[in-house]
Structure 1
Amino acid sequence: MTSDFFLSYTQADRAWAEWIAWLLEEDGYTVLVQAWDFVPGTNWIRQMQQGTAESARTIALLSPDYLTSVYGGAEWQAAWAADPDGKDQKLLTVRVSTCERPGLLAGVVGIDVFDTTEPVARTRIQKMVGRAIKGRSKPDTPPAFPLTPRATPVFPGVLPASWNVPARNPNFTGRDAGLRDLRQGLTTGSTVTVHAVHGMGGIGKTQLANEYAHRHAADYHLVWWIAAEEPALLPDQFAALAKELGHEPDGDPGELRRLVHESLRRVPGWLLIFDNADEAEEISAWLPSGLMPPDTPGHVIVTTRRGGFSSLGAVLDLDVVDPQEAVALMRARVPALAEDVALSIAEELGRLPLALEQAAAYLDRTSLPAGEYLSLLRTRAQDLYSRGKVANRKDTTVASLWTMSFEKVGAENPASLQLLAICAYLAPLPIPLDLFTGHTDLLPPELAAAASDPLDFTETVALAVDYSLATRTPTGLQLHRLVQGALRLHFTHEETR
């Protein structure tokens, strides 16, 4: 019996083969796949030969394991030999993990599914199959008017005509690896690419996105900044974007999203930045998706403290800056700062970018000798947490940075906030969780109840990690020293109310 598709894969990629086979059969195609069709008692070599010879097309699932498989090589080569010029598209390739396309495979146009989300992978498979059967690749929406300046780049040094990004931070330094990884992640593939930047408060997520937008402004014709912390404000911000695109929105959120998403397909390169998003589900409907016209980048950056954003796309986890970057960051504001003192200040502040900027701002404003500031930091750190103004972060200091997160955690799970409160008074090192589960009689009521139940305690710990207030280690929990200080300050203020 002739099948529409024969799936060629190695056992290491069986999960991918079954997922793709199910998708294709769900869409009405017939599929020959070893996992389902090579049942006990059959001659699998004979069935493999029949699969390549009698199926209309072969889909090769490329991976490092597949490329070293003798049988995999025989299968795709048989399909290629039956259609060497690709006229009938008898060989289709899908990369299921990072690998090269060696030899003849380099000349076969394929798709990647390992670098994205399930909905996008599903769309890529369906479009690839549709193009192979129809023999053409007509887009789902009308092409842009030919006079649209698609290939005309923005002159370097001049901002795009459609631009609402906050001013560039003149003191931004370092983060070269993060910017490089973000660039590489956004510029891979032909679909709308979403890349989340994740990390604790003050780690520099917003500043990284801001610097990326300014540094690569010439690559886009539209760059739009969206404050995503309050989902209720998204419609108003999209309405402003719709007006920028030449429309008069009627206020219906669904129609507004459709209008903006369709209009962006006609913009020769765009970048949207959703800053400080709290929940992936709250913004997912607002994110454009799907294939973009050739040479037309459609990029989305999401900054967030919360977990759970891998469902939207790739995630870049930001950590504290390295010692050299920490010194450079402070010297950008205070050039005369001695390196050894700067290093000591940086370590006292846990190399958190916001805290480093705040310290440099305080030194710049007061002209206090750096050595004296270091002494104060070691003896009166909490008094300094609210002093020093940071560029582009009005009214944000170490003292206030995590206040909203503390309040949200406390409202959602009081036991989680109690856990953080206790950790705030311990050393900034990994804290064994059995310290809590083994001494429930010494804990506050809510935390004691949670620590007595493994599932409840797992959720209690997970919430603190989800808000980027703590890091999970193999055996425990660890808090940044400044999160600990801010927690102590928070509870001191609570006690005096």
Structure 2
Amino acid sequence: MFSATLTAGTTYLGLRLRGLRRSQQEPAAPVRSLSVFCQPADATYGEWIAACLAMAARTRVESYRALDPPAPAPNGSPTWSVCVLSTTWETLGSPMLDHYGPDAELLIVVRIEDCATPPELGGADIVDIGHLDEVSARTLLFHELVARGVLAEKDLPETSALPSAGGTPFPYGGPAITNLGPPAPTFVGRDALVRALRAQFLHPGDEDHDVSAVAVVGMGGVGKSSLAVNHAHRYRRHYDIIWWITADRPTSLRAGLARLALKLGVPELADADLLIAELRRALRERGPWLLIFDNADSVEDLRRHWPSGDGGHVLITSRLADWSGLVPGRAVLRVPPLSGDHAVRLLCDGTGDDDPEAARTVARLLGRLPLALTHAVAYVRQAATSLAVYGRLLEDSLEDVLTRFQPSDSVQPVAMTWNLTLRRAAERDPLTLDLMRLWAMLAPEGLSRDLAGEGVPDLPGHLTPVAQDAVAYDLAVQHLHRYSLIRIEAGAAEVHRLVR
């Protein structure tokens, strides 16, 4: 037994000695060099991914660079790069993408939210972690890096190791404080506008204001509120606070701001103005945030309660076209009706009636206005009819349908949208109604802006004296244009067919 034990022990010692000599002869496994790059707006995700990579053995994150191509590793070996892909890339380009190209072999793309893939990365494999919690995101990230040969299984950290435990927080997936409603289910054809809106927030270009503001304007029913709510949902990851405020009346504006103040822990005060003043102070200490003033009807009302705070964004939806003093002119985005193809898609998808010709007829009769199109979808579905039958009904009784049909008890007929706007304009100048009646009898497009100007006889109603008063006529036109009831370009006026 002693001999057997000795032999076994000798064999074991021999193996250990041979293994020791081999380990001394073989070079140590190289340290991998990795670089993380992202847009500045996505820095929190970039830092978290870099912290993840740094936990792996024999791995060195050479640099965390927002936009510049990584430098070669010191030992001359190639550097793997991780691109953090987000919606920000849709509005901000980068030389990084040209540096790698779609066939890059040393690029890992980690997508952190639902977004389009830039053409330069069209051939790249993508790791989606935007919908995951920290543990799942870390697990998937390491799994994909091992599968691509970037990391070795043996070099991975313990499964319980998380960057947040080491002081690098996992980015939040959405606002902690919000009253945002669900996205509009029939939202189509607005991707370019959504990106343009986001681009304005990323490039405010106004150093005199600490809040970046954008206004989306247009006639009633054109889809301004839908654009705002879908924009907020798409970019919700970038905000800690998203708050929707109905701003068509001073009372509703103050009430919405007061509710946000209480949500942020501001002590309740009997004086609403003092409470809102405390809210402004609270917002200066918070961020990033997005306030949406929906259907705003007064520049002065908003100016009186205008928020402040670095990293704050304000989005205004309004029929009013002029927001001078609050929003730079280039940040006022006009929302047009849908294109013909997108209107057809909305009607066919919404009704389940695959009849594009009938849908095109309905879209034409309704002026491709999103509100009227969604009402058309509701009418067809509730009446169990077809787009073709509905189109014939519109040709015979357009005004009757728009005035009488309500999709639900809480939704007004389409015509009520413009009746309210016309009343608001008439409150400022009664001449606006007479001018609209005149233009409503004429072709909707190609009208001269000065049609009722000096020297034009036989004008109806109160417009007769206006023919001799250029200032009065200009003021009436201004009110119609201000409330987006008409559109004026290069001296020509355009009235939407449904407003007529």
- TM superposition score normalised by structure 2: 0.61
Task: Check 1:263–1:419 CA distance in 2 against 1; reply closer, same or farther (3 A cut).
Answer: same
Shift of 1:171: 2.1
Task: Check 1:249–1:316 CA distance in 2 against 1; reply closer, same or farther (3 A cut).
Answer: same
Distance in 2 of aligned mates of 1:354 and 1:151: 43
Shift of 1:154: 2.2
Picking from 353, 357, 371, the partner of 2:388 is: 371
Matched residue, 2:302: 283
Picking from 341, 346, 356, the partner of 1:339 is: 356
Matched residue, 2:203: 188
> Residues 138-168 of structure 1: CA distance to partner in whole angstroms, max 9, x if unpaired?
xxxxxxxxxxx9975322xxx5331112232
Task: Check 1:222–1:275 CA distance in 2 against 1; reply closer, same or farther (3 A cut).
Answer: same
Alignment of 1:279-358 (within 5 A): 279-289=298-308, 292=310, 297-313=311-327, 314-358=331-375
Alignment of 1:454-465 (within 5 A): 454-465=470-481
Picking from 240, 244, 247, the partner of 1:228 is: 247
Task: Check 1:249–1:425 CA distance in 2 against 1; reply closer, same or farther (3 A cut).
Answer: same
Shift of 1:346: 0.8
Picking from 446, 456, 460, the partner of 1:430 is: 446
Distance in 2 of aligned mates of 1:150 and 1:164: 28
Distance in 2 of aligned mates of 1:309 and 1:302: 9
Distance in 2 of aligned mates of 1:304 and 1:171: 20
Distance in 2 of aligned mates of 1:317 and 1:335: 31
Picking from 226, 232, 257, the partner of 1:213 is: 232
Contact 1:440 1:452 in 2 (8 A): no
Matched residue, 1:204: 223
Distance in 1 of aligned mates of 2:225 and 2:487: 20
Alignment of 1:452-491 (within 5 A): 452-484=468-500
Name structure 2 gaps, 5 residues minimum. Answer: 1-92, 94-166
> Residues 279-336 of structure 1: CA distance to partner in whole angstroms, max 9, x if unpaired?
211111322235x1xxxx3111010001221421221111111112112222331133
Task: Check 1:152–1:301 CA distance in 2 against 1; reply closer, same or farther (3 A cut).
Answer: farther
Q: State the SS of the aligned residue for 1:483.
A: coil
Shift of 1:378: 1.4
Q: Which protein, 1 or 2, shows the higher relative CO under an 8 Å CA cutoff with sep ≥ 6?
A: 1
Distance in 2 of aligned mates of 1:299 and 1:394: 30
Distance in 2 of aligned mates of 1:237 and 1:430: 42
Distance in 2 of aligned mates of 1:328 and 1:379: 24
Alignment of 1:41-440 (within 5 A): 153-155=171-173, 160-188=175-203, 191-289=210-308, 292=310, 297-313=311-327, 314-386=331-403, 388-389=405-406, 394-437=410-453, 440=456
Distance in 2 of aligned mates of 1:299 and 1:308: 19
Distance in 1 of aligned mates of 2:497 and 2:489: 16
Distance in 1 of aligned mates of 2:467 and 2:181: 44
Distance in 1 of aligned mates of 2:481 and 2:442: 17
Range moving further from structure 2, 330-339 or 300-309:
330-339
Contact 2:353 2:386 in 1 (8 A): no
Task: Check 1:267–1:332 CA distance in 2 against 1; reply closer, same or farther (3 A cut).
Answer: farther
Shift of 1:230: 0.5
Distance in 2 of aligned mates of 1:258 and 1:411: 31
Name structure 1 gaps, 5 residues minimum. Answer: 1-99, 101-148, 485-497
Task: Check 1:253–1:151 CA distance in 2 against 1; reply closer, same or farther (3 A cut).
Answer: farther
Shift of 1:455: 1.3
Task: Check 1:318–1:310 CA distance in 2 against 1; reply closer, same or farther (3 A cut).
Answer: farther
Distance in 1 of aligned mates of 2:378 and 2:226: 16
Shift of 1:388: 4.9
**One-letter amino acid of the counterpart of residue 396, structure 2:** T
Shift of 1:427: 1.7
Shift of 1:362: 0.7
Shift of 1:275: 0.4
Shift of 1:451: 2.4
Q: State the SS of the aligned residue for 2:498.
A: helix
Task: Check 1:328–1:150 CA distance in 2 against 1; reply closer, same or farther (3 A cut).
Answer: farther
Distance in 2 of aligned mates of 1:298 and 1:385: 40
Task: Check 1:346–1:445 CA distance in 2 against 1; reply closer, same or farther (3 A cut).
Answer: closer
Task: Check 1:225–1:402 CA distance in 2 against 1; reply closer, same or farther (3 A cut).
Answer: same
> Residues 217-259 of structure 1: CA distance to partner in whole angstroms, max 9, x if unpaired?
2221111111100013322222211110011232334432331
Range moving further from structure 2, 265-274 or 249-258:
249-258
Matched residue, 1:491: none
Shift of 1:450: 1.8
Distance in 2 of aligned mates of 1:271 and 1:418: 40
Q: State the SS of the aligned residue for 1:224.
A: strand
Distance in 1 of aligned mates of 2:325 and 2:349: 37
Task: Check 1:317–1:433 CA distance in 2 against 1; reply closer, same or farther (3 A cut).
Answer: closer
- TM superposition score normalised by structure 1: 0.62
Task: Check 1:184–1:265 CA distance in 2 against 1; reply closer, same or farther (3 A cut).
Answer: same
Distance in 2 of aligned mates of 1:351 and 1:379: 18
Larger Rg: 2
Distance in 2 of aligned mates of 1:452 and 1:151: 69
Distance in 1 of aligned mates of 2:170 and 2:405: 44
Q: State the SS of the aligned residue for 1:380.
A: helix
> Residues 155-195 of structure 1: CA distance to partner in whole angstroms, max 9, x if unpaired?
2xxx5331112232222222001100111111235832111
Shift of 1:390: 5.3
Distance in 1 of aligned mates of 2:413 and 2:211: 35
Task: Check 1:394–1:207 CA distance in 2 against 1; reply closer, same or farther (3 A cut).
Answer: farther
Shift of 1:452: 1.3
> Residues 185-213 of structure 1: CA distance to partner in whole angstroms, max 9, x if unpaired?
11235832111111110010011101111
Q: State the SS of the aligned residue for 1:417.
A: helix
